[in-house]
Amino acid sequence: MGSWRVERLDQLPTALLATIMTKLDISSICSLAVTCRAFNSCASHILSFLPNFHILDISPSMELIKPLLPPNSHLQSLKLDCGQLNDSSIELLLRPSLQELCFHNCADFSGKLLSEIGSRCKDVRSLYLGSVAEKRGRAIHISDLEELLGGCTQLEELNLMFDLSLFLRHNFARVWALASKKLTSLEIGYISSVMVTELLSPNVGPHQYPNQIRPSILPAIQKLSLAVDYITDTMVGTISKGLALLTHLELRDAPLIEPRVTFDLTNSGFQQINQHGRLKHLSLVRSQEFLSTYFKRVNDLGILLMADKCANMESICLGGFCRVTDTGFKTILHSCSSLYKLKVCHGSQLTDLVFHDIAATSLSLTHVSFRWCNLLTNHAIKSLVRNMRLKVLDLRGCKNLGDEALPAIGSLCELKMLQLDNSDISDVGIAYLRHGIISSLVSLSVRGCKKLTDKCISVLFDGSSKLALQELDLSNLPNLSDNGVLALAKSRVPISELRMRQCPLIGDTSIMALASMQADDDRGHGSSLRLLDLYNCGGITQLSFRWLKKPYFPRLRWLGVTGSVNRDIVDALARNRPFLHVACHGEELGTDPWNNIDSSYMHDYEELDELEQWLQEGEWESDDEEMEDAEDDADVVVE
C-alpha cells in the first residue's frame, strides 16, 4: 500500500475497520495487521471477540498461538493443526463458549485432552480429534473417553480419528451409553468389528430383567464412517438393523490375513444392507494396504439382493469386489435412478459392456471413479461421457485407456477433476484437452503415463487463457525434464499443488524456475505453490535447498524431498521454515482429492505470507545463517 492509503486508513473509524476485518479469516487478518498501525491495533482488538479461529495450514507452537488466542467469550469455532502442541496448551485452547472443535495431529497430547473437553466444553456440537496420543509415552484411558461422552451432552457430530481398539472391550459399550442422544454423525479412525457389533447389539442392559432389551445406544445416528479390521456379515447386519435412521454408511477394512468365512462379508451380509430403506450413500472398501485380498464371497447375487432395497441410492462406492461382473454393476446403474456418484476400485471383472446401454438409463452422473479396472477401454469412456454433467472423472490405473478416449473427455465442459494415472495416453492425445476442458479443470493427474514428454506441458498450457487449474500431478514421468518445468513456469498458471515425484530428469533448474515463477500480473512475483513433491527426483542437489528457503516459495506449506540428499540441510530447512511440513520418507503429501472434490477455493495470498511474517517477525536472519552453515558443511563434504 502507498503511504497516502495508509494515512487514509488511519482516519477510518475503528468500529468500521473491526466490522470489515471480522469478515476475514485469520490469515487475512494477520496479513492486514502488518500493513499499517491502524490495522495492527484493530487486529489485536478483534481477536478478543472473533467467533471463528481457523489455522489448519500451519502448525503453530504454544509461543506463537498464545497471543492470537486472548480471552474471548464469543469464540464458537476453533480449528487448529496441533502438531507442535501438547497437554500444556489445553487451558489456552478450551473455552466454555466453543461449539465446534477441530484438532488435527494431536499425537503429543494424552487422553487428558478428551477428559478436559468433556469438563470444559459442555456445549460443543461438532468435534474432530486426530491422532490423539500416538506419540510414544502418551496414553488414553477408558475414563477419558467416558468423561468426554458424559460431559458433551450436545454433541451432534463426533470424529475420533485414532485407534479405539486399544480400549478394553468389556467397558466399551457401557461408556458409549453416555453418548449424546443428539449424535447424528460418527466417524472412527480404527475399531475392531467385534467392538462395533457389541456396541450396537441390542443386548440385555444392566439392572434389567432377562427379557428386557436394551434400547439402541446411538438412536439418532444418520452417518456412520468406520475403519475396521474386517467387514463382516454380523457387523453389517447389526448396523443395518440397529441404526434405523442411517442415511450414510462408510466401511473400510484392511485385513492382515485372509479372512475366514465367519469374519468376512458374503451375499448374506449384502442382503441385510438398508433394512430400513433410508440409505442414500454407501461405501464398502477392502483396502490392500497390508495384503492383496478381496471380497471373494460376494458375487452378482449379492448385488441383486441389495438392489431391491436401494432404488433411492445417490452415491455408491465398492472397492475390492473381484467376483462381481458386468451383470452386478449394470444392476446398480439400472436400479438406482437417483445415482450421481459411482466409484469402483479393483473391479477386475468390470468391462465396457456395463456402459453399452447407459443412454437407456435416467442417470445424471456427476462423479465417476473407476480405479484399477484394467478391462475398461476407450469404448467405455465414449459411452460414459454421454453424462455431460460430469465434474469428476477418476480413471487411475486403467491401463487400456489411450488417446482415443481423450476427444470424448475433452468435450466435458463442466469437468473439474481428471485423473488418468498409468494410462496409455501420449502427447498427441493430450492435445484434445487443450481447447476443451483445460479451462475448467481444477485438478489434473497424469502420474505414471510413461509416453508423456516435455511437449505435453507446452501442448496444454502455451498461450492459454486464464486457467482455474490448482493441482497438477506429473509424477513418475521418465521423459519429463527441466525444459517441461520451464515451460510450465512461463505459462504462469497459478498452481497451488505440484507433484513431480520419481522424475529422474528433474533437477535444480526446475526448482529455480518455480521459485521465480510469476503466477499473476496482479499478484506480483513469487510462486503460488503451497505443496511441492520432489521425492526421488534424480537431479536435485543441495543447490535446490538454497532456493527452497525463505523468501522463495513464500506460500509453501508441504514439501516432499529425498532425505538422503543431505540430512543436515533438510533439517536446517525444517528449522528455517517451521511452518513447512518437510516429508523425507516418500509419504504422499496433503489429503486425498476424492475427499475434497467439490472444493475449488484458493485463498488469495499476498506476495509474502504475512501470517508467517507476523507470527515470527525477527527470526529470519538467524535461521538463514543456520541454513547457510549447513550448506557450507555440505560443500566441504562434497569436496
* Range 535-545 average pLDDT: 91
User: Range with the lowest mean pLDDT among 170-184, 409-423, 538-552?
Assistant: 538-552
Could you give the C-alpha distances from 311 to 249, 314, 344, 441, 495, in angstroms and in order? Answer: 16, 9, 18, 32, 41
The 10s digit of each residue's pLDDT in 429-458 is 999 998 778 889 999 999 999 999 999 999
CA atoms within 13 Å, Cβ hemisphere of 232 = 19
Taking each helix axis as running N to C, give the angle between helix 508-515 and helix 482-491, from 0 to 180 degrees, rounded to the nearest 10: 10
Q: What percent of the chain has pLDDT over 90?
A: 63
Give pLDDT, residue 3: 42
User: Do residues 370 and 347 make contact, with C-beta atoms less than 8 angstroms apart?
Assistant: yes
Q: Determine the residue type at 30.
A: C
Could you give the C-alpha distances from 403 to 420, 427, 451, 527, in angstroms and in order? Answer: 11, 9, 11, 32
Report residue 627's pLDDT band, with 50, 70 and 90 as the boundaries: low
* Range 608-631 average pLDDT: 49
* Range 227-233 average pLDDT: 97
**Angle, CA 201 vertex, CA 195 and CA 206 arms, to 5°:** 100
Report residue 224's pLDDT band, with 50, 70 and 90 as the boundaries: very high
User: Range with the lowest mean pLDDT among 353-362, 512-521, 543-552?
Assistant: 512-521
Distance CA 27, CA 29 (A): 5
Distance CA 110, CA 143 (A): 12
Give pLDDT, residue 362: 81
* Range 603-611 average pLDDT: 38
Could you give the C-alpha distances from 205 to 82, 199, 202, 212, 607, in angstroms and in order? Answer: 39, 12, 8, 8, 62
Q: Is the pLDDT of residue 206 over 60?
A: no
Q: Is the pLDDT of residue 606 over 90?
A: no
Question: Which of the given ranges, 57-66, 119-128, 206-215, 358-367, has the highest pLDDT on average?
Answer: 119-128
* Range 15-37 average pLDDT: 75
Consecutive H or E run containing 514? helix 508-515
The 10s digit of each residue's pLDDT in 252-309 is 999 999 999 999 999 999 999 999 999 999 999 999 888 999 999 999 999 999 988 8
User: Range with the lowest mean pLDDT among 21-35, 390-404, 528-542?
Assistant: 21-35
pTM: 0.88
C-alpha cell of 94? Answer: 478450551
* Range 169-180 average pLDDT: 90
Give pLDDT, residue 471: 96
Closest listed residue to residue 185, CA positions, set 231, 235, 245, 236: 245
User: Range with the lowest mean pLDDT among 93-97, 207-211, 548-552?
Assistant: 207-211
Q: Is the pLDDT of residue 20 over 80?
A: no
The 10s digit of each residue's pLDDT in 310-327 is 889 999 999 999 999 999
Report residue 624's pLDDT band, with 50, 70 and 90 as the boundaries: low
SS3 assignment, position 34: coil
Distance CA 629, CA 568 (A): 10
Distance CA 437, CA 81 (A): 35
User: Range with the lowest mean pLDDT among 53-57, 367-371, 613-617?
Assistant: 613-617
Q: Determine the residue type at 26.
A: I
Who wins on pLDDT, 473 or 589?
473
Who wins on pLDDT, 300 or 5?
300
Give pLDDT, residue 463: 64
Give pLDDT, residue 37: 74
Report residue 410's pLDDT band, with 50, 70 and 90 as the boundaries: very high
C-beta neighbour count of 7 within 10 angstroms: 11
Q: Which residues contact 550 (CB under 8 A, 6 or more apart)?
A: 576, 577, 620, 623, 624
Give pLDDT, residue 519: 56
Report residue 610's pLDDT band, with 50, 70 and 90 as the boundaries: very low
Average pLDDT of the chain to the nearest whole number:
86
Give pLDDT, residue 598: 35
Q: Determine the residue type at 323.
A: R
Give pLDDT, residue 464: 61
Distance CA 26, CA 574 (A): 23
C-alpha cell of 92? Answer: 489456552
Q: Which residues contact 564 (CB under 8 A, 6 or more apart)?
A: none
Report residue 25's pLDDT band, with 50, 70 and 90 as the boundaries: confident
What b/e sequence results for 249-270 when a residue is b if at least 16 CB atoms lie within 10 Å of its CB, and e otherwise? Answer: bbbbbbbeeebeeebbbbbebb
The 10s digit of each residue's pLDDT in 543-574 is 898 899 888 998 899 999 986 667 788 888 88
Q: Is the pLDDT of residue 242 over 60?
A: yes
